Amino acid sequence: FVHTPVKIGECSGCHNPHTSPEGKLLDEVSTRICDACHKNIVPENAVSAHKIVVEGNCVQCHDPHASGNKGVLVKQGNELCLDCHKDTADKVKTARFKHKPVNEDCMNCHNPHASGKLGFLLKEDIPALCIKCHKTDNPAFGRQHMNYPVAASRCNSCHDSHGSSRPVIIFEDVHAPVAEKKCNQCHEEVGSQNPIATKKKGVDLCRGCHKEMVDMTFSKNRVHSPLLDREGCLNCHNAHAARQKKLLAGTVLYVCGKCHSDTVELQHISKTNPKNPGLCKPVKEGDCVSCHSPHSSDHVLLTEKPSMSFDICNKCHEWKTHSTHPVGAKFIDPRNSNLSVDCISCHRACGTGNKPSMSQFETVTETCIQCHKELERR
């Protein structure tokens, strides 16, 4: 398979025969040169686009001259995709139960460049994509789903599209009523007017099984706001099954980031800043629940201990070995007489782009002179 300009001997279609400011005498910046012929690879209505396509790194998948593979691809089929998508490659390799299309070709479900559908470069929205292979009028399909009308439901709310250690490629962590096939524990009966509807809404539904936990949650002074709306627990947890433990809808960082995107962005800046080596472990690992309770607390910011107390930081940092700076209730912050000097007087608990050690300011000197005005250079 030969790239058309090469095939017709038009090397000057991509290269300048004399001089060029670009490497390899390219006529244009390498990330834009393909656009001259291959227009609208990412259409305006695209919901998702392949990152390397957006960045113009076409040669990561295609050989610009010739290849033994169709589409002048540098590798064949799944071998090409899984070369970058290592997490998926590991799952496909280790999954006890594998999704048949995954073994055959990623392109069975995904577009390589862009998609106007749901996301993830899918060729069709879910469930339209799934029912191309999984016929919903098959009696076996009904039996497997306890005869509930799930043909229009989101298949990926229960099933892992690439593979799983569980039969029928259901997610690793399964809600007990689902595992026991007791759908009517939460949903109306199969023969009812609206069997998919739940018997109660929000937290009231979950209270049926998790009464002790729900009662304890609402006994605290401050309750996490997602628990107070109609979705309740489902703002953070999946109802049926999940990749993550405790039925979380994603990693802790992903779940928290759906609302706290500014804080997550700050953490990202901290992690990617080479001048900031002293990162707090929870920030480095995206583990918000090390310091915050996800449900409720008697303290501001849903911390497990008073948020203005260094007892929180002291779980990991023995302050006497880290600092000789006076801290605690005896020492009043000169900037605010209502506050004592504490860890967060100088440090930002959720990350910062400053050096060193998540300081609120760019330099040590600038941090110190916030209180020690007498040391400020005039």
- Tell me the pLDDT tens digit for each residue of 275-322: 565 567 888 888 999 999 999 999 989 998 876 667 788 888 776 666
Across 256-285, average pLDDT: 78
| Residue 227: pLDDT over 90 | yes
Asked if residue 26 has pLDDT above 90, the reply is: yes
Distance separating alpha carbons of residues 225 and 123, to the nearest angstrom: 36
pLDDT of 258: 94
**Average pLDDT score over the chain:** 90
Q: With 80 as the cut, is the pLDDT of residue 22 above it?
A: yes
The angle subtended at Cα 114 by Cα 113 and Cα 118, nearest 5°, is 145
Helix (H/G/I), strand (E/B), else coil: 237: strand
Token pair 């309750």 in the structure block, residue: 223
pLDDT at 284 (0 to 100): 81
CB 171 within 8 A of CB 241: yes
Model confidence at 360, in pLDDT bands (50, 70, 90)? confident
Q: Which of 8-12, 30-34, 208-212 has the lowest mean pLDDT?
A: 30-34
pLDDT band at 328 (very low <50, low <70, confident <90, very high): confident
- pLDDT, tens only, 164-197: 999 999 999 999 999 999 999 999 999 999 999 9
Provide the whole-model pTM.
0.81
Instruction: Write the pLDDT tens digit of every residue in 56-105.
Output: 999 999 999 999 999 999 999 899 999 999 999 998 899 999 999 998 89
* Cα–Cα separations (whole angstroms), residue 168 to 23, 110, 165, 348: 51, 21, 9, 46
Residues 126-169 have pLDDT tens digits of 999 999 999 999 999 999 999 999 999 999 999 999 999 999 99
**Whether pLDDT at 257 is above 80:** yes
Write the burial class of residue 212 (CB in 10 Å: 0-12 exposed, 13-18 middle, 19+ buried).
exposed
